[in-house]
Structure 1
């Protein structure tokens, strides 16, 4: 049995060109809002598009611009709040700019695998590469990439770079430590993230510099891996007394610390004050609510996309952005030093 009323074929770019009496290259210029199209010609093409109900495909857009409006996103293969929030908000910003995102993940135990992930994206003819960096080796490999398209990285670095967007981890850490020092704490321990993580390095640097400014001891550094379990381990191992404070490398580690201190019979903030970093959604609902440093991941995702757009569409423009600010959020886990 045959279908007497088959669905009409969807119009393509060549149908639009024939109806408007122009070349398909001209149609592509109109679709991509490029210059050098006469107003009367543009109006004729737009009328044909409307009449045929034509929806341009990525391939059609690329005919003139040689662009696919696709961005390759390389993310770390972990589920930590910061990196996943950055990737999520970058996807939102890319979608708003009418770009498609192809994502790949680098296994956490293979940071050097970044180059292979980038090569796989290049085979898909992406317009740019964006990386969310949580390991120093990845950052170094980014600096050495020569791929012929823009490469933008979300990563902490001591010096601004045209290729890097970041949050101001350094000043955020200093604000956290300053808050504790102003509460009278003279012993401020740092439960830091991994030594290979650029974010952790910048937070350690801020912790040390702020302690030095207050003439306090900057030697009490303990390393974790961003997880609540590592924060718990540090909290159980610390030789800590009433009146001390702990600056945790992130909120997840702070959660583990709170649990360990409670098990040890220490009150927060009565005996020990605790500050985290990130301001995860649960931070305000912990017991006690967690004082922390807030990062605006939505703003970072938008900044990454802005840098991509400038690099792709205005390649001769040179930009260099300062890190986005962080904000100290004071809640119930910090108080005046006991004793």
Structure 2
């Protein structure tokens, strides 16, 4: 399906292309209110946006892909960005943008107005049906990463998060731990909920007491701040929902003269670059971040070429990387 052009707007409104161009560029003085209303209504009905980049690069075959992420500093997302940049074809330019949940809708509209040929969305979409309608109306294909639920609207890339949570629980239980705690953020994304569910399911299947569930800020500082509550709980091991929180927990314990894994075993999630360089190095559930970035690019290029193709759901495997932050207990 081709993008809506200014000629389509002119035809819908029953006016000339010149008239549409003047009105959309706010040169409206010589036109009646009725004509202005017709043009603006036609623009909205057809979902037309002036392609500012196309105007500047007329004749260029460069594809513009907008990538929306929660953070550019979190090593998980920066690794995905690096993978995208390394794997992008010569005829593709990437536009990276961080966004909060509240700003996601406005930031998507901003990228559409800039003339993006496709979007990769790596943040939780709170109103997926409305977003899907908005983007399809404007013929902008998109691919979703793992923070959102799969609603069947478009391609989605996830890892097997529930299995990842089970890997963490299995490892700690095999080491003899029975008093377990899960450290999670206040706002749980869909993928994080699956990690937690996998951990709890494995504990139940092995007839263990329900692991304690503690919430804090999704950051290293959040991990450090939850340490007093962990110590009060008498847990012998914790499963942190991501590596940054796990690193914060290790720092918080060190500040109190305690050590990992002698005083507490810690398992993280993601396997960011820092995990293997920590002292002690972090045991964690590794996600294939480089594969996620490369695959996201492949899928969005396929959607641009074949926008009416059936949605694909890709689920990649995780693996447990055992390092130095867990130990056997009696």
Normalised by the length of structure 1, the TM-score is 0.72
Q: CA deviation at 1:299?
A: 0.4
| Greater radius of gyration (CA) | 1
Determine if contact 1:75/1:87 at 8 Å carries over to the other structure.
Answer: no
The structure 2 residue matched to 1:277, chosen from 269, 290, 296, is: 269
Q: CA deviation at 1:326?
A: 1.2
More strand by share: 2
Against the structure 1 CA distance between its residues 213 and 322, is the aligned structure 2 distance closer, same or farther, given a 3 Å change threshold?
farther
How do residues 249-328 of structure 1 correspond to structure 2 at under 5 angstroms? 249-328=241-320
1:87 aligns with 2:78: no
How do residues 130-141 of structure 1 correspond to structure 2 at under 5 angstroms? 130-133=120-123, 135=124, 137=126
- What does residue 128 of structure 1 align with? 118
- What does residue 117 of structure 1 align with? 107
Determine if contact 1:112/1:138 at 8 Å carries over to the other structure.
Answer: no
Q: CA RMSD in A?
A: 2.5
C-alpha deviations, 1:178-235, integer Å up to 9, x for none? 1111111111101113324233222222222121112222351111222111111111
- What does residue 91 of structure 2 align with? 98
Determine if contact 1:114/1:138 at 8 Å carries over to the other structure.
Answer: no
Work out the CA distance in 1 between the residues paired with 2:113 and 2:162: 37
Q: CA deviation at 1:80?
A: 1.8
Determine if contact 1:156/1:167 at 8 Å carries over to the other structure.
Answer: no
- What does residue 53 of structure 1 align with? none
The count of aligned residue pairs is 271
Q: CA deviation at 1:93?
A: 2.6
Work out the CA distance in 2 between the residues paired with 1:190 and 1:251: 13
Q: CA deviation at 1:296?
A: 1.5
The structure 1 residue matched to 2:69, chosen from 62, 75, 99, is: 75
- Where structure 2 has 5 or more consecutive residues not aligned to the other structure, the ranges are 1-55
How do residues 191-206 of structure 1 correspond to structure 2 at under 5 angstroms? 191-206=183-198
Work out the CA distance in 1 between the residues paired with 2:121 and 2:245: 24
Instruction: Considering Cα pairs closer than 8 Å and 6+ residues apart, tell me whether 1 or 2 has the greater RCO.
Output: 2
Normalised by the length of structure 2, the TM-score is 0.74
